[in-house]
Amino acid sequence: MGKIGQRVARIGQAFGMQVSAWSPNLDAARAQAAGVHLAASKQALFADSDVVSLHLVLGERTRGIVDAATLACLPAHGYLINTARAGLIDQQALIEALAEKRFAGAGLDGFDCEPLPAGHPFRTLPNVLATPHLGYVTARNYRDCFGQAVEDIAAWLQGAPQRVLD
């Protein structure tokens, strides 16, 4: 229930969804403050959800946090949405589960290899919606990113770089 997870929860709640959450770091007080139900475990979250949306930072503790056993908990009508990092999910287990239609489908915005190779299963599985890692695209992000790029170029041309990498 970080910044993005809380925003997604609020959107779900606005549509009348009962929102549950689980994270290795989430406690009952933070869940209650966000107005969400704290799932007893990762497996319980998947088993009790129609849609699971991942919003975790990829790190040593979270790499592969969604493995074959976790995917097996998602009900047949369930969907998995990952707009975070591909490494959170065991990719081979996900491909197998989707190919065998163990759950309804997945929405994926990040991949282990980008751009996604032409022959990759995520391109052909009928129960996958794959977007080209553009979940961050907003008018504000474009304005900030490109505005800063122009500032950087102008400053460099004047011999006074602003954002210097060490």
Which residues are identified as catalytic? 85, 114, 133
Phi first, then psi: give them for residue 54, nearest 5 degrees. Answer: -90, 135
Q: Nearest CA to 94 among 54, 58, 56?
A: 54
Biggest CA-to-CA distance, the chain:
60
Task: Annotate 63-114 with three-state secondary structure.
Answer: CCCECHHHHCCCCCCCEEEECCCHHHECHHHHHHHHHCCCCCEEEECCCCCC
Residues 6+ apart with CB under 8 A from 95: 121, 122, 125
Cα–Cα distance measured from residue 43 to residue 73, given in angstroms and rounded to the nearest whole number: 6
Contacts made by residues 155-164, CB under 8 angstroms, sequence distance 24+:
none
Whether the Cβ atoms of residue 22 and residue 45 lie closer than 8 Å to each other: yes
